[in-house]
Amino acid sequence: MNVRSKFLKALKHPIRASTLVIRRIKLSLSWLTILVVAKLGGTTVEIGKGVRFYQKTRITGKGSVVIGNNTTFGIPAGGRFKSTYCELQARYKDARIKIGENVAINNGLTIISAASVEIGDDTLIGRELQISDHDGHGILPDERRVSKGKLKPVTIGKNVWIGNNVTILKGSVIGDNCIIGACSVVTGKCFAENTVLAGNPAKEISSLIRNA
């Protein structure tokens, strides 16, 4: 649709057109606010084209965050839209969070990275996913206030479907096309592509590959 056609359509539906304009302005301001706050806090941020922040999103930390083209944060109809927010925290200087292209993220996402968290293209993320690539504290009693614990990258492949209220812990590797059932806790294991996994701790339930 060319500019003239869009203008004529807007004249026929002025209320709808003004609503869309206001919505786009709000999204642009949200995007700009997130970027400015992140950079003021010391985070290196790279945001691709067409990224949309429908839910309030915080990007913090001293590391780097990369968000691929056409990724969306938050869904108004997804539940707990107003009572939660998304947070990407690349906590330390060497920490890195990379989210691929066309990733659809429901409400309440939390990623806290001390090493590396990577999410592949076209992944679908349910409500209140939590990802951490480190323990957060030392295991031994005398280390709990002086150590961040063990670190190990988290890698999520392409076209993965993650259900609501999932927790993914350090060292987890999720192959392409996998499905993770709601409320699962992935405890640092590696799962091959096309696997359906669920439970606490998560384990393989079935395969998406049918036997010939």
Residue 123 domain-assigned?
yes
Residue 72 domain-assigned?
yes
What is the domain extent for residue 123? 3-207
Residue 49 domain-assigned?
yes
- Three-state DSSP class for 142? helix
Residue 91 domain-assigned?
yes
The string of pLDDT tens digits covering residues 189-212 is: 999 999 999 999 999 999 998 753
pLDDT of 7 reads 46
pLDDT of 3 reads 45
Residue 167 domain-assigned?
yes
Residue 126 domain-assigned?
yes
The string of pLDDT tens digits covering residues 152-192 is: 999 999 999 999 999 999 999 999 999 999 999 999 999 99
What would the mean pLDDT of 42-65 be, rounded to a whole number? 92
What would the mean pLDDT of 136-143 be, rounded to a whole number? 88
The string of pLDDT tens digits covering residues 92-124 is: 999 999 999 999 999 999 999 999 999 999 999
CA distance 81 to 56: 9
Report the range out of 5-14, 24-33, 87-96 with the highest average pLDDT.
87-96
pLDDT of 90 reads 96
What share of the chain has pLDDT > 90, as a percent? 70
Q: Which amino acid is at 193?
A: E
Q: CATH number, domain at 186? A: 2.160.10.10
pLDDT of 40 above 70? no
pLDDT of 22 reads 46
Cis omega before residue 141 (within 30°)?
A: no
Report the range out of 50-54, 79-83, 174-178 with the highest average pLDDT.
174-178
Domains held by the chain: number: 1
pLDDT of 16 reads 55
pLDDT of 86 reads 95
Rounded to two decimals, the pTM is 0.83
Confidence at 70, pLDDT banded by 50, 70, 90: very high
Beta carbons of 184 and 164 less than 8 angstroms apart: no
Residue 80 domain-assigned?
yes
**Enzyme catalytic residues:** 137
Say which residues have a Cβ less than 8 Å from residue 118's Cβ, sequence separation at least 6: 96, 97, 98, 100, 153, 154, 155, 156
| Three-state helix/strand/coil letters over the chain | CCHHHHHHHHHHCHHHHHHHHHHHHHHHHHHHHHHHHHHHCCCEEEECCCCEECCCEEEEECCEEEECCCCEECCCCCCCCCCCCEEEEECCCCCEEEECCCCEECCCCEEEECCEEEECCCCEECCCCEEECECCCCCCHHHCCCCCCCECCEEECCCCEECCCCEECCCCEECCCCEECCCCEECCCEECCCEEEEECCEEEEEECCCCC
Residue 212 domain-assigned?
no
